[in-house]
Amino acid sequence: MSALTQLTTALCRAEQAARDAQTDAEQRTQEITSLRAEVAALKTKCSTLERELSHKKVEVTMVRSALSATQDDLVNEKKRSADALRRGHEMAAEELGQAAKAIHILQVRRYEEVSEDELDPVKLPERKKVKTGTYSGYECTHLRFHDLSVMSSPRQFTGPGTPASSSAPVIKTPGRRTPPSTSHSEHAPSKPLRSACHRFASAED
């Protein structure tokens, strides 16, 4: 009987060990299933992260391209601005040169017009009158010294009441054209001077 009891006890222990092993196996299986689920979730998350990383790489590439294009545009804009500034300076210098030439031409023309007007006896009454003098019996109005170029010869005028002398020095005014001397006699004024004196006399009357 003792041997049968021992076998029965051993069998019970074996069955309990089998049940424990089966329970442990089921727990291991559940753990493995959970681990597999976690692995699948991690794989999904990795795939999502990979896609996001791919999108970020694309965005980074686009940003780099945009930055490079912006830098190129900035360099080109600087070049265009420098070229425009240089052209503006050149055009301004050219315009200043043309303006200076135009001013010089106008000054030359004005000088010529003033010189011609001073030689025109019609416009002589418009000149400034200073005092009245006598020349060989003609009453006329003396002009300023720089207006003496209206006379055909400087020796024809010496002042109030004094005949002209053939040795009188020739008066040359800076910036004015000195008219050539004539062969008129000392006691006969030139035609422009007579006309000017007559016009002055008419203006004074």
pLDDT tens digits for 78-109?
A: 999 999 999 999 999 999 999 999 998 888 87
Q: Report the C-alpha gap between 164 and 148 in whole angstroms.
A: 14
**Quick check: 36 pLDDT over 90?**
yes
- Going through 77-194 in order, the beta strands assigned E by DSSP cover 131-135, 138-142
So what's the pLDDT on residue 152?
40
Give residue 11's pLDDT band: very low, low, confident or very high (50, 70, 90): confident
47 vs 198: which has the higher pLDDT: 47
So what's the pLDDT on residue 45?
94
DSSP collapsed to 3 states, 153-186:
CHHHCCCCCCCCCCCCCCCCCCCCCCCCCCCCCC
| 177-195 per-position pLDDT tens digit | 444 444 444 444 445 555 5
**Quick check: 41 pLDDT over 70?**
yes
For 4-63, give the DSSP string: HHHHHHHHHHHHHHHHHHHHHHHHHHHHHHHHHHHHHHHHHHHHHHHHHHHHHHHHHHHH
**Quick check: 145 pLDDT over 60?**
no
Residue range 155-165: mean pLDDT, rounded: 44
Across the strands, what pairs with 204? none
Which residues are CB-neighbours of 193 under 8 A, at least 6 positions away? Answer: 135, 140, 150, 151, 152, 156, 157
Q: Report the C-alpha gap between 176 and 170 in whole angstroms.
A: 13
Give residue 120's pLDDT band: very low, low, confident or very high (50, 70, 90): low
11 vs 181: which has the higher pLDDT: 11
So what's the pLDDT on residue 95?
92
- Global pTM reads 0.35
Note every long-range contact of 153-156, with CB atoms under 8 Å and residues 24 or more positions apart, other chains counting: 153/179, 153/180, 153/181, 153/182, 153/184, 153/190, 155/181, 155/186, 156/184, 156/186, 156/189, 156/190, 156/193
